[in-house]
Each structure stands twice: as C-alpha cells, then as structure tokens.
Amino acid sequence: MEGVEERVEEMREVFRSGKTKSEKWRRSQLMGLQAMVQQEEKTIFEVLQKDLGKHPVESFRDEVGLVIKSINLALSSLKDWMNPKSVKIPLFALPASSSLVPEPLGNVLLFSSWNFPIVLALEPMIGAIAAGNTVALKPSELAPASTQFLADVIPRYLDGCAVKVFVGGAAMGSQLLELAWDKIFFTGSPRVARLVMVAAAKHLTPVILELGGKCPAIFDKLSSSQQEIAARRLVAGKWGPCCGQACIGVDYVLVERRFAQNLIELLRKTVSTMYEDSRNLARVVNQEHFIRLKSLLKDPAVYSSVVFGGGVDNDAMTIEPTILLDPPLDSAIMNEEIFGPLLPIITVENIQDSITFINDRPKPLAIYVFTNDETLRQQVLGGTSSGSVTFNDTMVQFALDTLPFGGVGSSGFGRYHGKFSFDAFTHEKAVMRRHLLLDLPQRYPPWSNLKLDFLRSVYNYDYISLILFTLGLKR
C-alpha cells in the first residue's frame, strides 16, 4: 500500500478535478454507503459483538439503524441542500440580487471513537460526502474488528480514490495531523482533542470536537407510574448504550434526599429486569479501561457508598451495574467522566440546588431532567449551559435529525446530524450580483456634507431620503 502522503495527495487530486462536486457523484456515494450498511449488517453485528459485546438489537438501534436513517435523509434532501439560497438585500443596494452558494470545503479528516465505532465513523462521513468533500477516516484502534471491517469494506462500496480509511494507532493519527486539511472532525477524549487542536493550528485548519463530560440527570418528584417509566429511561440512558461507555450517557443523578431510597429501589428493580441476562449488557472495551473503572471503586469511602452491584469479574473483565449513594464529591468518580457501568446518586435538600451543583462543574454535553414542574424546566433551561437538554427521557436527542448534536465549552464545539452534518462540511459562499444601470455619485469622492447625509440615510435605512436622493430631489 502506498504511503500516507501519497494516498492523501490522491484525494486532493480527485477534489481538484471537480468530480466530487457533482450531485451524481455525491448521490452515488451515499447509495454505496446505504448498500454497504444493508448488505453487511450481519458482519457489522459480528464485529460489534467482538469489540464491545453488543447485542445485535443494541447494535441496530444505536448504530446500523441510525446510519440508515441518516443516509435516507441525505438522499431525499440532497438536491435541496445543494441549491443556492436567495438572500434578501436592502433597498439601497438595488438593482441587485444575492445568494448563499454551498460549496464543499475540500479534503476532510475524520477521527471516530471506539464506543460506537460504526455510527461515529459513518454519520459525519455522510455529511462530508453529501457536501461534496473527499474524506479520510481514521477509526479508533481500540475497536480493532470494527476498524478492520471499515478498512476492508468501504473501498468495495465507495470511490476508493476519494474516500480512504487509515488504520493504525497514535502514530498514524499524528502522521495524518501533520498534513494540511480543510477541516478536521474529531470524536474522543479532551486530552487527545487538545493535541488535535495544536496540530490543526499549524495549518489554520478549522475543527469540530465532539467530546464528552459528566452528563447529569435530575430526578424530580413524579407519580408512581411516571417513576417507573422514568426509571426505565434512566437505566437505559446509563447502562443501555454500550455499558455506560457513551459520551451522552447519564454520568450521575441528582435527587432530593427524601426521594433517594425510593429511586434506588426503582433502579435496582429495573436493572435486575433489563439485565438479568448478561448478554443484554455490552462489556468494558479493554483491560486498560477495566482497570481504570476498578480504580474508581478502590477508595474505601467510595466503595462504602455502593448500594447495589459492585461485583467485579477479573477473568471475564466485567463489572456489574453499580449504584453508589453520595460518594465523596472530591473523589475521582465525581471528577472524571465515568464512561462505564457505575452510577453515583447525589442527594440535595431541594431539587433547585441541582442547578447550582451542575453550574459548579464543567459544562456537560447533555442534561436530562425528569420532572412535571414547568418552573424547574425553565430554571434548567435559563440557568445552565450544556450541549443539549432533554426532559423526561435520555439519549433520544441523538437520533433526531432536526436537532443538532454537539457540545459547549469543555464538552466540545461544532455540531452535526441531518442538515447540520451537511453544513458542518460546507462553506456558504456569499454571492452578490449588481447591475451596471444605476450608480449614485454620493458613494464616491470628492466628499461633502451632503454625501455624509446620504451615507447616514443608507446606514439608518432612511428609505424616504434615499428615494429623494435617487430622484435628485435632495441635493
């Protein structure tokens, strides 16, 4: 196989040829992705099981199905997305017209993460291709079966000169970052994101960072039937997505002290029902992360706060779904993104105190709030900052094409999904067309007080004066 620079140069040549700008090419590549995901579904299930122990239903719900949905939207919307959009212009600029013309950025580099190795690779790729770019994909080496699948299969379904997969570890990532790109899209940890930004700065390359953070869930007073529904959605948002290894998964729960024991009992019952069969729960990705998660429980003060679960199987490299009640706030489990099957419950005297608790910490990627109280909803919306807020559910916002997905502050910046993915890899070129018919002398030197009055009317949108100037009635 040719070297990295040679492969990237081939991508640049393809883009310079103009091939990727045509609707025909973009549509053919999206249809190729569509065929790949549909025809290789069984293999996708197999590699996700091998890498992460995901059940096929979870793999379809969280990866395959989302990709199919996104491709279908892009195919049905592509022509509209590509069309220039007319823009209104003020009266003083007439006779003229203006528009925004979407054009591809060029050659883009995508770094995908190991926890959702298919959807986090293909979702941004859909947007990049729909926008008419060439794409270099660097999947995570921590999901080796999925990475090799993408490297083997993508060239069979897509234009191998314009869309390339680069397999390797940190050294491969560093080599790719040394090259100039028109945009870099990174999904992963804040530590690596800093390295990406430093490398991108050398070439003034714009970046999108999809990171994570400690996403809280606020659990307010609810009726008995509503509590059961909320508990199911909370459990699904903690342990359902890849055994808690999800950037928008619930990291901890805030609840009033008087309701804490009732919530714990609800969660115990729900976890036992959903994950009685261990095959329904994905596993920790590797030994390194397994050791990291075990270390979070090593602190005696933390381990003593365990009220459910806590069992560890070193041979199988598994940790039971675990609930902790009020672990020390200065402990690692309350200051690092957990990214695993451990759920702290933090009690507050009044549910409004949860807003202060959240604001005292870095801005999260998502906030989840289970409540019927409209006042609390407005307090959360107006009093906190996060990538998204979801009321009375968890995780579902990721599946909505009409909502952008992205963070704020330390949880990342930039956004994608649906049309937002197309926009993420598009430059909207501002275009103005003027006629050579009317030309007012007031815009040119030599200057005079009268011309100053004219300019004042222009910038104040004083159309009556402008009309008088145009008709020569005001001199």
Candidates 40, 58, 123, 210; catalytic one: 210
Residue pair 348/297 in contact (Cβ under 8 Å)? The answer is no
For 140-170, how does the pLDDT look when each residue is reduced to its tens digit (9 = 90+)?
999 999 999 999 999 999 999 999 999 999 9
98: amino acid identity, one letter: S
Let me know whether 290 and 328 are in one domain.
yes
Task: Say how far apart CA 229 and CA 249 lie, in whole Å.
Answer: 17
Let me know whether 200 and 239 are in one domain.
no
> Is residue 326 very low, low, confident or very high in pLDDT (cuts 50, 70, 90)?
very high
Known catalytic residue at 215: no
Residue pair 408/363 in contact (Cβ under 8 Å)? The answer is yes
Query: What pLDDT was estimated at residue 144?
Result: 97
Which ranges of 286-411 would DSSP assign to H, the alpha helix? Answer: 287-298, 300-303, 353-359, 374-383
> Is residue 475 very low, low, confident or very high in pLDDT (cuts 50, 70, 90)?
low
Query: Is residue 471 in some structural domain?
Result: no
For 363-391, how does the pLDDT look when each residue is reduced to its tens digit (9 = 90+)?
999 999 999 999 999 999 999 999 999 99
Query: Is residue 453 in some structural domain?
Result: no
Residue pair 207/190 in contact (Cβ under 8 Å)? The answer is no
Regarding beta strands 342-348 and 252-256, do their DSSP bridges make them parallel or antiparallel, or are they unpaired?
parallel
Let me know whether 163 and 240 are in one domain.
no
- For residue 262, the SS3 value is helix
Number of structural domains, the chain? 2
Let me know whether 249 and 193 are in one domain.
no
Let me know whether 224 and 301 are in one domain.
yes
Q: Identify which of 311, 230, 308 has the alpha carbon closest to the alpha carbon of residue 268.
A: 308
For 449-459, how does the pLDDT look when each residue is reduced to its tens digit (9 = 90+)?
888 888 888 88
Let me know whether 190 and 336 are in one domain.
no
CATH code of the domain containing 142: 3.40.605.10
Whether the per-residue pLDDT at 470 is higher than 60: the answer is yes
Query: Is residue 470 in some structural domain?
Result: no
Known catalytic residue at 9: no
Q: Where are any strands of DSSP class E within 105-215? A: 107-111, 134-138, 163-165, 183-187, 207-210
Q: Identify which of 338, 278, 279, 333 has the alpha carbon closest to the alpha carbon of residue 311.
A: 278
Query: Is residue 437 in some structural domain?
Result: no
> Is residue 471 very low, low, confident or very high in pLDDT (cuts 50, 70, 90)?
low
Let me know whether 27 and 137 are in one domain.
yes
Mean pLDDT of 240-250: 94
Higher pLDDT pick, 420 / 457: 420
Query: What pLDDT was estimated at residue 273?
Result: 94
Candidates 215, 242, 243, 247; catalytic one: 247
Query: What pLDDT was estimated at residue 1?
Result: 44
The pTM of this model reads 0.94
Let me know whether 160 and 274 are in one domain.
no
Residue 159 token pair: 């234009």
Let me know whether 172 and 222 are in one domain.
no
Helix (H) or strand (E) holding 139: none
Let me know whether 380 and 297 are in one domain.
yes
For 99-111, how does the pLDDT look when each residue is reduced to its tens digit (9 = 90+)?
999 999 999 999 9
Query: What pLDDT was estimated at residue 374?
Result: 97
State the residue range of the domain holding 98: 4-211+416-428
Let me know whether 195 and 269 are in one domain.
no
Task: Say how far apart CA 303 and CA 327 lie, in whole Å.
Answer: 8
Whether the per-residue pLDDT at 473 is higher than 70: the answer is no
Query: Is residue 340 in some structural domain?
Result: yes
358: amino acid identity, one letter: I
In the chain, the percentage of residues whose pLDDT exceeds 70 is 98
Query: Is residue 466 in some structural domain?
Result: no
CATH code of the domain containing 329: 3.40.309.10
User: What is the rounded average pLDDT for all residues in the chain?
Assistant: 95
Measured in whole angstroms, the distance separating CA 209 from the mean position of its chain's CA atoms is 8
Let me know whether 36 and 161 are in one domain.
yes
Query: Is residue 299 in some structural domain?
Result: yes
Query: Is residue 135 in some structural domain?
Result: yes
> Is residue 176 very low, low, confident or very high in pLDDT (cuts 50, 70, 90)?
very high
For 49-98, how does the pLDDT look when each residue is reduced to its tens digit (9 = 90+)?
999 999 999 999 999 999 999 999 999 999 999 999 999 988 778 889 99
Residue 194 token pair: 């800093």
For 193-229, how does the pLDDT look when each residue is reduced to its tens digit (9 = 90+)?
999 999 999 999 999 999 998 999 999 999 999 999 9
First to last CA, the chain: 74
